[in-house]
A = this chain, B = another copy of it.
Protein backbone atom coordinates (compact mmCIF):
# COMPACT_ATOMS: atom_id res chain seq x y z
CA UNK A 1 0.00 0.00 0.00
CA UNK A 2 1.37 3.36 -1.00
CA UNK A 3 2.11 5.48 2.00
CA UNK A 4 -0.11 8.50 2.47
CA UNK A 5 -0.66 11.08 5.17
CA UNK A 6 -3.59 10.46 7.49
CA UNK A 7 -5.31 13.50 5.98
CA UNK A 8 -5.11 12.04 2.48
CA UNK A 9 -6.41 8.74 3.75
CA UNK A 10 -9.31 10.46 5.45
CA UNK A 11 -10.24 12.22 2.24
CA UNK A 12 -9.94 8.93 0.37
CA UNK A 13 -12.26 7.20 2.83
CA UNK A 14 -14.81 10.01 2.79
CA UNK A 15 -14.97 9.87 -1.00
CA UNK A 16 -15.35 6.11 -0.92
CA UNK A 17 -18.09 6.40 1.70
CA UNK A 18 -20.02 8.86 -0.43
CA UNK A 19 -19.73 6.55 -3.43
CA UNK A 20 -21.05 3.61 -1.41
CA UNK A 21 -23.92 5.69 -0.06
CA UNK A 22 -24.92 6.88 -3.51
CA UNK A 23 -24.82 3.34 -4.84
CA UNK A 24 -26.31 1.37 -1.94
CA UNK A 25 -27.74 3.85 0.55
CA UNK A 26 -26.53 5.20 3.87
CA UNK A 27 -27.59 2.07 5.73
CA UNK A 28 -25.30 -0.12 3.66
CA UNK A 29 -22.27 2.10 4.21
CA UNK A 30 -20.52 -0.11 6.78
CA UNK A 31 -16.88 0.29 7.68
CA UNK A 32 -16.07 -2.82 5.66
CA UNK A 33 -18.01 -1.68 2.60
CA UNK A 34 -16.25 1.67 2.74
CA UNK A 35 -12.71 0.32 3.03
CA UNK A 36 -13.47 -2.21 0.28
CA UNK A 37 -14.61 0.63 -1.98
CA UNK A 38 -11.49 2.58 -1.13
CA UNK A 39 -9.33 -0.51 -1.65
CA UNK A 40 -7.60 -0.29 1.72
CA UNK A 41 -7.36 -2.74 4.66
CA UNK A 42 -9.91 -2.49 7.42
CA UNK A 43 -7.35 -1.38 9.96
CA UNK A 44 -6.92 1.88 8.11
CA UNK A 45 -10.39 2.98 9.10
CA UNK A 46 -9.79 3.33 12.81
CA UNK A 47 -6.35 4.63 12.27
CA UNK A 48 -7.87 7.60 10.41
CA UNK A 49 -11.14 8.02 12.31
CA UNK A 50 -11.76 7.61 16.00
CA UNK A 51 -15.20 6.18 15.21
CA UNK A 52 -17.67 5.72 12.39
CA UNK A 53 -19.60 8.74 13.59
CA UNK A 54 -16.51 10.85 13.06
CA UNK A 55 -16.43 9.74 9.43
CA UNK A 56 -20.16 10.41 9.07
CA UNK A 57 -19.48 13.89 10.33
CA UNK A 58 -16.84 14.39 7.64
CA UNK A 59 -19.11 12.88 4.99
CA UNK A 60 -21.92 15.27 5.82
CA UNK A 61 -19.62 18.26 5.57
CA UNK A 62 -18.26 16.85 2.33
CA UNK A 63 -21.51 16.14 0.57
CA UNK A 64 -22.97 19.48 1.58
CA UNK A 65 -20.03 21.17 -0.06
CA UNK A 66 -20.77 19.51 -3.35
CA UNK A 67 -24.46 20.37 -3.05
CA UNK A 68 -25.98 21.97 -6.11
CA UNK A 69 -24.88 25.54 -6.38
CA UNK A 70 -27.77 27.65 -7.69
CA UNK A 71 -27.36 27.78 -11.44
CA UNK A 72 -25.92 30.98 -12.80
CA UNK A 73 -28.74 32.96 -14.29
CA UNK A 74 -27.76 32.67 -17.92
CA UNK A 75 -30.79 32.34 -20.17
CA UNK A 76 -30.06 33.71 -23.62
CA UNK A 77 -33.39 32.76 -25.17
CA UNK A 78 -35.89 34.74 -23.12
CA UNK A 79 -34.83 37.84 -21.23
CA UNK A 80 -38.17 38.84 -19.80
CA UNK A 81 -38.28 38.57 -16.00
CA UNK A 82 -40.58 35.60 -16.26
CA UNK A 83 -38.35 33.97 -18.87
CA UNK A 84 -35.29 34.40 -16.69
CA UNK A 85 -37.06 32.98 -13.65
CA UNK A 86 -38.41 30.03 -15.57
CA UNK A 87 -35.07 29.33 -17.22
CA UNK A 88 -33.22 29.40 -13.92
CA UNK A 89 -35.64 27.06 -12.24
CA UNK A 90 -35.56 24.52 -15.03
CA UNK A 91 -31.78 24.64 -15.22
CA UNK A 92 -31.67 23.85 -11.52
CA UNK A 93 -34.21 21.10 -11.93
CA UNK A 94 -32.18 19.51 -14.69
CA UNK A 95 -29.33 19.19 -12.22
CA UNK A 96 -31.59 17.50 -9.71
CA UNK A 97 -32.91 15.11 -12.30
CA UNK A 98 -29.43 14.20 -13.43
CA UNK A 99 -28.38 12.89 -10.00
CA UNK A 100 -31.36 11.38 -8.20
CA UNK A 101 -29.27 9.06 -6.04
CA UNK A 102 -27.21 11.93 -4.78
CA UNK A 103 -30.38 13.73 -3.76
CA UNK A 104 -31.57 10.70 -1.86
CA UNK A 105 -28.31 10.45 0.03
CA UNK A 106 -28.64 14.06 1.08
CA UNK A 107 -32.07 13.40 2.54
CA UNK A 108 -30.96 10.18 4.19
CA UNK A 109 -27.97 11.87 5.77
CA UNK A 110 -30.09 14.75 7.01
CA UNK A 111 -32.38 12.35 8.79
CA UNK A 112 -29.50 10.35 10.15
CA UNK A 113 -28.02 13.57 11.47
CA UNK A 114 -31.27 14.66 13.10
CA UNK A 115 -31.34 11.46 15.15
CA UNK A 116 -27.69 11.70 16.23
CA UNK A 117 -27.38 14.33 18.97
CA UNK A 118 -23.88 15.31 17.92
CA UNK A 119 -24.81 15.75 14.28
CA UNK A 120 -28.14 17.55 14.54
CA UNK A 121 -26.38 20.87 14.92
CA UNK A 122 -24.40 20.25 11.72
CA UNK A 123 -27.62 19.69 9.79
CA UNK A 124 -29.09 22.86 11.21
CA UNK A 125 -26.05 24.87 10.24
CA UNK A 126 -26.04 23.44 6.74
CA UNK A 127 -29.71 24.24 6.21
CA UNK A 128 -29.05 27.79 7.32
CA UNK A 129 -26.31 27.90 4.72
CA UNK A 130 -28.70 26.75 2.01
CA UNK A 131 -31.17 29.43 3.02
CA UNK A 132 -28.51 32.07 2.60
CA UNK A 133 -27.51 30.69 -0.79
CA UNK A 134 -31.12 30.71 -1.92
CA UNK A 135 -31.60 34.28 -0.73
CA UNK A 136 -28.51 35.41 -2.60
CA UNK A 137 -29.78 33.60 -5.64
CA UNK A 138 -33.11 35.41 -5.49
CA UNK A 139 -31.34 38.74 -5.20
CA UNK A 140 -29.19 37.87 -8.18
CA UNK A 141 -32.23 37.04 -10.28
CA UNK A 142 -33.83 40.32 -9.31
CA UNK A 143 -30.75 42.21 -10.37
CA UNK A 144 -30.41 40.40 -13.71
CA UNK A 145 -34.11 40.69 -14.50
CA UNK A 146 -34.25 44.30 -13.38
CA UNK A 147 -37.04 43.75 -10.90
CA UNK A 148 -37.56 43.73 -7.16
CA UNK A 149 -39.45 41.28 -4.96
CA UNK A 150 -42.67 42.46 -3.35
CA UNK A 151 -42.37 39.81 -0.65
CA UNK A 152 -39.52 39.86 1.91
CA UNK A 153 -36.63 37.83 0.51
CA UNK A 154 -36.18 35.66 3.64
CA UNK A 155 -39.80 34.56 3.40
CA UNK A 156 -39.45 33.96 -0.31
CA UNK A 157 -36.30 31.92 0.31
CA UNK A 158 -37.86 29.68 2.92
CA UNK A 159 -40.90 29.21 0.74
CA UNK A 160 -38.82 28.41 -2.31
CA UNK A 161 -36.36 26.13 -0.58
CA UNK A 162 -39.22 24.24 1.00
CA UNK A 163 -40.99 23.90 -2.30
CA UNK A 164 -37.90 22.66 -4.14
CA UNK A 165 -37.12 20.20 -1.36
CA UNK A 166 -40.65 18.90 -1.42
CA UNK A 167 -40.90 18.64 -5.18
CA UNK A 168 -37.59 16.81 -5.26
CA UNK A 169 -38.71 14.38 -2.59
CA UNK A 170 -41.97 13.72 -4.37
CA UNK A 171 -40.27 13.30 -7.71
CA UNK A 172 -37.87 10.80 -6.15
CA UNK A 173 -40.92 8.75 -5.27
CA UNK A 174 -42.84 8.71 -8.53
CA UNK A 175 -40.35 10.15 -11.07
CA UNK A 176 -43.19 11.93 -12.81
CA UNK A 177 -41.40 14.47 -14.99
CA UNK A 178 -44.56 15.91 -16.47
CA UNK A 179 -46.18 16.73 -13.13
CA UNK A 180 -42.92 17.99 -11.69
CA UNK A 181 -42.43 20.30 -14.63
CA UNK A 182 -45.97 21.61 -14.35
CA UNK A 183 -45.48 22.36 -10.66
CA UNK A 184 -42.20 24.07 -11.45
CA UNK A 185 -43.89 26.26 -14.06
CA UNK A 186 -46.51 27.17 -11.54
CA UNK A 187 -43.77 28.20 -9.14
CA UNK A 188 -42.26 30.37 -11.86
CA UNK A 189 -45.65 31.96 -12.41
CA UNK A 190 -45.98 32.62 -8.71
CA UNK A 191 -42.52 34.16 -8.48
CA UNK A 192 -43.34 36.39 -11.44
CA UNK A 193 -46.46 37.53 -9.65
CA UNK A 194 -44.49 38.83 -6.68
CA UNK A 195 -42.23 41.10 -8.69
CA UNK A 196 -42.37 44.82 -9.34
CA UNK A 197 -40.34 46.70 -11.93
CA UNK A 198 -36.92 48.16 -11.03
CA UNK A 199 -35.49 48.97 -7.62
Q: Is the CB of A167 within 8 A of B162?
A: yes
Whether a CB of chain B sits under 8 angstroms from the CB of A124 is yes
Contact flag A159-B173 (CB < 8 Å), given A114-B104, A166-B166: no
This chain: copies in complex: 2
Q: How far is the CB of A3 from chain B (nearest CB, A)?
A: 36
Whether a CB of chain B sits under 8 angstroms from the CB of A47 is no
User: How many A residues, CB 8 Å from partner?
Assistant: 41
Q: Is the CB of A179 within 8 A of B154?
A: yes
Which of A115, A123, A159, A179 neighbours the largest number of chain B CB atoms within 10 Å of its CB?
A: A159
- A155–B152 Cα distance when bound, in Å, is 25
Whether a CB of chain B sits under 8 angstroms from the CB of A37 is no
Q: How far is the CB of A106 from chain B (nearest CB, A)?
A: 11
Whether a CB of chain B sits under 8 angstroms from the CB of A165 is yes
Chain A interface (Cβ < 8 Å from any Cβ of B): 25, 27, 104, 107-108, 110-112, 114-115, 123-124, 127-128, 151-152, 154-156, 158-159, 161-167, 169-170, 172-174, 179-180, 182-183, 186-187, 190, 193
